[in-house]
């Protein structure tokens, strides 16, 4: 359905590759920042709710960096308290995905960044309005000019900056990564048993690579149909081919203990429930309570170092800045 892996996203250092050469999951590597000024601009834009029509919703609203890069809701809340149709995937390690969104309709983080701004169910603005807000703020104009050498703020520049910031949101140094790199004391006996069961059961057929997912599209419900009452049930993949219904990008399992609830419809509220459901409908396997607990213990070992940075102080609006359109509670 898609090409498998963006090769550059899954490169590892020689030492790590040697230590983990026989494992289907590879260590997460720290971010390499090529343009700090662009990243800093992107960080401000990521946290700025003025990109929304209401002046209330930012990228961080649905991809909260204090909550595993998600909002921990079944489906996200958008403009005028609209409930979205699908669960918000984590932004953490999203640069390792072969595409963005559950259906892969955006191939890059930059492609993805412009979508929610103009989506009437999310930030509900328009690109024209959002740019006029930014253009009216002298500090943004100056910072944008420093990065892009232009006085005119464009959608391409805004989304490029947001993507540059998101590319830094990787989570290396989990205990599982330390084990992959050779520290055999990094995992407990139960966690290691859970990893072996995870592999032996066939989970790594889909959850592999540095992100333990994110690199293929697979059908939800291989052995038995997945049943959901969510509006997400009617989604057809970006191919628009009816045969691709219920095909979704495999989610990353990195930091999965932080990114509940699970699945495209948020139907699984706990890792225990998610492991049970995946075992049944994807593998045709019923895990015992003890087996499930071991796999859950392993999954929790993949929580890495969370992004650590100072929250940006956003530049102030002025009299010429278009006013937001707040919505009533």
Angle, to 10 degrees, between the axis of helix 127-135 and the axis of helix 138-148?
100
Residue 268 phi, psi dihedral angles, 5° rounding:
-95, 115
Are 199 and 225 in a shared domain? yes
Distance CA 173, CA 120 (A): 38
Same domain, 176 and 284: yes
The answer to whether residue 319 sits within a structural domain is no
Q: What does each of the 329 residues of the chain score in pLDDT, given as a tens digit?
A: 433 333 333 333 333 344 456 899 999 999 999 999 999 999 999 999 999 999 999 999 999 999 999 999 999 999 999 999 899 999 999 999 999 999 999 999 999 999 999 999 999 999 999 999 999 999 999 999 999 999 999 999 999 999 999 999 999 999 999 999 999 999 999 999 999 999 999 999 999 999 999 999 999 999 999 987 665 665 666 677 877 888 999 999 999 999 999 999 999 999 999 999 999 999 999 999 999 999 999 999 999 999 998 999 999 999 999 999 988 65
Active-site annotation, residues: 122
200 shares its domain with 93: no
Same domain? For 40 and 124 the reply is yes
For residue 77, the cross-strand partners are: 83
Determine if the pTM surpasses 0.75: yes
In this structure, the answer to whether residues 77 and 154 fall within a common structural domain is yes
Residues 79 and 17 in one domain: no
What does the block give as tokens for 185?
């004391």
Whole-angstrom Cα distance, residue 277 to residue 279? 5
Q: Residue 287 sits in which domain range?
A: 2-28+172-302
Domain count, the chain: 2
Please report, for the domain that includes residue 118, its CATH number. 1.10.760.10
44 and 154 assigned to the same domain: yes
């Amino acid at each position: 359905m898609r090409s498998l892996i963006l090769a550059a996203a899954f490169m590892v250092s020689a030492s790590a590759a040697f230590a983990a050469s026989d494992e289907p999951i590879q260590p997460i590597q720290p971010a390499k920042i090529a343009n700090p000024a662009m990243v800093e601009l992107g960080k401000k834009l990521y946290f700025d709710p003025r990109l929304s029509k209401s002046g209330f919703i930012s990228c961080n609203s649905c991809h909260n960096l204090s909550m595993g890069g998600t909002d921990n809701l079944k489906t996200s809340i958008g403009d005028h308290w609209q409930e979205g149709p699908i669960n918000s995937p984590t932004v953490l390690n999203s640069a390792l995905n072969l595409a963005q969104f559950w259906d892969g309709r955006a191939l890059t983080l930059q492609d993805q960044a412009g979508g929610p701004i103009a989506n009437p169910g999310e930030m509900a603005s328009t690109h024209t309005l959002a740019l006029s807000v930014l253009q009216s703020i002298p500090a943004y104009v100056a910072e944008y000019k420093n990065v892009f050498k232009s006085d005119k703020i464009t959608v391409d520049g805004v989304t490029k900056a947001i993507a540059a910031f998101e590319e830094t949101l990787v989570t290396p140094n989990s205990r599982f990564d330390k084990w992959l790199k050779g520290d055999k004391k990094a995992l407990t006996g139960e966690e290691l048993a859970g990893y072996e069961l995870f592999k032996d059961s066939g989970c790594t057929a889909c959850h592999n690579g540095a992100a333990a997912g994110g690199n293929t599209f697979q059908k939800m419900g291989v052995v038995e149909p997945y049943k959901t009452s969510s509006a997400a049930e009617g989604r057809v993949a970006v191919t628009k081919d009816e045969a691709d219904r219920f095909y979704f990008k495999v989610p990353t399992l990195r930091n999965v203990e932080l990114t509940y609830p699970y699945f495209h419809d948020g139907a699984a509220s706990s890792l225990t429930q998610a492991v049970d459901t995946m075992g049944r409908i994807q593998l045709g396997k019923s895990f015992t309570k003890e087996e499930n607990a071991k796999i859950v213990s392993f999954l929790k070992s993949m929580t890495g170092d969370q992004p650590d940075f100072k929250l940006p102080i956003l530049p102030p609006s002025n009299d010429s800045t278009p006013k937001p359109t707040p919505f009533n509670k």
